[in-house]
Chains A and B, each alone.
Chain A
């Protein structure tokens, strides 16, 4: 089904089409309530506000809040939690009110962020997911396959509940392998698939190897992609493979749920759920706000959670904000162009040229002969050098690999203005969630 045939509508018409001035008043009202709640209930937030000389009643405008409230870093969350694990001084309500626990994977070597949700938090989290899924065209009559491990990581947990809330029949495929998932997609007549962009491509390839053309034989109309930045080339490839609309969305453990989604109009970006979040974009060096069309780091304030709250959280996500009028759906919520464009801490200047790992993926996805890739930044002859390993599709003729390597290297050079070393490899790691395809081997930690 093409994107043009998807049903259109608003989950919450009032909120989604609220005039901008009313939206700002609504945000301020909710922010004040959140700050009062945090000051009353959370030792961490009370200490932080008191130290900054900022009582909740001192925040009289969104501008004053952005100018005076200190930015929160991830390390501060984990330090507060370490005081008395698992949640330390952060909670704003008694932990006894929690109905579920989640935590980040900690795979990057850092302490995991631990978090809980009360019943009210979780109902809100599911509602945020429902808002996004409904905007993509998901309806009660749909059958959704969620390709997710259902463990400690929050991932698509909220979507499971959001889809149930919409009224969908949801197939949770926990520990299933890719072949079994492809079978279920076809046998169960699934109309919605939810997974990471990387995994959607993996499923498409698996189906091809099974002799199944998903675009023809499965009835998927929407692929809900989340968990990773998703370059346009990847979106296009997913849409072709499934014959479906691929809607982008993103959330984070620290928020419990999603904060943006791509509507069925496919405006080339994601609407920010602005009734429930205050999203600032700042210059990473000066910390000053940047305007529409300028890239900066996303600073998030959640207005919806009562248990573990976040105010002005430095997300490290690189985004470019666009006005809501760039989309024809009628929502008054602004957009992030291309969703999350990358991570600030992944951004590097290599020999004077700005580089982000997602740029390599954007090239890779236009080479159907390449199945998987990894890239590293290395010091070679004292020069920072991008080394990209590519794994050709299984069954391809090895005689063609040298030519593929040369063509790919030339394309990277043309688009990134960097000359990479390209190697043909086998057995590169595969990912279901949070693909990690870039390592900086020049960083001090890498040598230790």
Chain B
């Protein structure tokens, strides 16, 4: 394997942060303020991709917070 491949990892603290921000965004996605709910729904989708990409737990179907 080429030595130029770094393998950065999330710290435990950052893993928790990622999960926490995902939970917060899910709550905001049901906000009564349209602009806030819309932004949170898009953001939760992006964070979901990051969670999934890191191999962390995922349980995130959109219809569950509709």
**Residues of A that sit less than 8 Å from B by CB:** 7-15, 17-18, 26, 30, 33, 37, 41, 93-94, 97, 118-120, 122-124, 126-127, 131, 265, 275-276, 304, 306, 328-330
Pair B1/A330 contact, Cβ less than 8 Å = yes
B4 in the interface (beta carbon within 8 A): yes
Please report the C-alpha to C-alpha distance between residue A306 and residue B58 in the assembled complex, in whole angstroms.
Answer: 12
> Within 8 Å of chain A (Cβ to Cβ): is B31?
no
Q: Which residues of B contact A131 (CB under 8 A)?
A: 53
Chain B positions within 8 Å of A330 at CB level: 1-2, 5, 7
Residue from B7, B41, B59 in contact with A17 in the complex, judged by beta carbons closer than 8 Å: B7
Given A26-B55, A329-B5, the answer on whether A97 and B45 have CB atoms closer than 8 Å is no
**Shortest distance from the beta carbon of A418 to any chain B beta carbon, whole Å:** 42
**A118 partner residues in chain B, CB cutoff 8 A:** 45, 62
- Interfacial residues of chain B within 1-38, with CB under 8 A of chain A in the complex: 1-2, 4-10
Chain B residues with Cβ under 8 A from A41's Cβ?
A: 63
Cβ–Cβ < 8 Å partners of B44 in chain A: 120
CB–CB A11/B53 < 8 A: yes
| Residue from the list B2, B9, B58, B59 in contact with A329, Cβ < 8 A | B2
Assuming the A-B contacts A94-B66, A123-B48, A330-B1, are A10 and B55 also in contact, with contact meaning beta carbons closer than 8 angstroms in the complex? no
Contact call A306/B4, Cβ cutoff below 8 A: no
Residue of B45, B48, B60 most packed against chain A (CB within 10 A)? B45
Q: Is there an interface contact between A33 and B2, defined as CB atoms closer than 8 Å?
A: no
- In-complex Cβ contact of B46 among A12, A30, A123, A275 (8 A): A123
Give the shortest distance, in Å, between A333 (CB) and chain B (any CB): 13
The residue from B45, B59, B61 contacting A123, defined by CB atoms under 8 A apart: B45
Distance from A25 Cβ to chain B, minimum over Cβ atoms (Å): 10
| A-B contact list, 30 entries, CB within 8 Å | A8-B2, A8-B4, A10-B7, A12-B53, A13-B9, A15-B55, A17-B7, A26-B55, A37-B61, A93-B61, A94-B63, A97-B62, A97-B63, A118-B45, A118-B62, A119-B42, A119-B62, A120-B61, A120-B62, A122-B45, A123-B45, A123-B46, A127-B49, A131-B53, A275-B53, A304-B52, A306-B62, A329-B1, A330-B1, A330-B2
Q: Which of B48, B54, B55, B66 has the most CB of A within 10 A?
A: B55
- By beta carbon, the residue of chain A nearest B6 is A9
Q: A13-B7, A41-B63, A123-B48 are in contact. List 9 more A-B contacts (CB 8 A).
A: A12-B54, A12-B55, A14-B9, A94-B63, A119-B45, A119-B62, A127-B49, A275-B53, A329-B1
For residue B48, which residues in chain A have a CB less than 8 angstroms away from its CB? 120, 123-124
CA–CA, A123 and B42, complex, Å: 8
In the bound complex, do residue A14 and residue B62 qualify as a contact, i.e. CB atoms below 8 Å apart? no
User: Looking at the complex, which one of A17, A33, A123, A265 makes contact with B49 (CB distance below 8 Å)?
Assistant: A123
Main SS of the interface on chain B? Answer: loop
Q: Which residue of B has the minimal Cβ distance to A327?
A: B1
Which 10 A-B residue pairs are closest in the complex by CB-CB distance? Answer: A123-B45, A12-B53, A330-B1, A119-B45, A127-B49, A120-B45, A8-B4, A123-B49, A13-B7, A93-B63
Known: A13-B9, A118-B62, A306-B61. A265 touches B45 (CB 8 A): no
Using Cβ atoms and an 8 Å threshold, which residues of chain B touch A11? 53
Look across to chain A and name the residue whose beta carbon is closest to the beta carbon of B63: A93
Asked if B61 contacts A265 (CB within 8 A), the reply is no
Across the interface, which residues of A come within 8 angstroms of B53, CB to CB?
A: 11-12, 14-15, 127, 131, 275
B residues less than 8 Å from A265 (CB atoms): 2
Task: Closest B residue to A36 by CB, please name it.
Answer: B61
Q: Which residues of A contact B52 (CB under 8 A)?
A: 124, 127, 275-276, 304
Contact A15 B54 (CB under 8 A): yes
| Most interface-central of A97, A120, A265, A306 (chain B CB within 10 A) | A120
Q: Using Cβ atoms and an 8 Å threshold, which residues of chain B touch A13?
A: 6-9
Using Cβ atoms and an 8 Å threshold, which residues of chain A touch B7? 10, 13, 17, 330
| A281, chain B: closest CB distance, angstroms | 25
Cβ B2 vs Cβ A120 within 8 A: no
Q: Provided the pairs A10-B5, A118-B62, A330-B2 are in contact, do residues A124 and B55 lie with their beta carbons within 8 angstroms?
A: no
Cα–Cα, bound, A118→B66 (Å): 12
Are B2 and A119 touching (Cβ within 8 A)?
A: no
A210: min CB distance to chain B, Å:
37
Bound-complex Cα distance A300 to B48 (A): 22
Q: Which A-chain residue is minimally distant from B56 (CB atoms)? A: A14
B10, B42, B48, B53, most chain A CB atoms within 10 A:
B53
Minimum CB–CB distance for A110 against chain B, Å: 30
Q: How far is the CA of A276 from the CA of B8 in the complex (A)?
A: 21
B-chain residues with CB within 8 Å of residue A30 when the two chains form the complex: 58
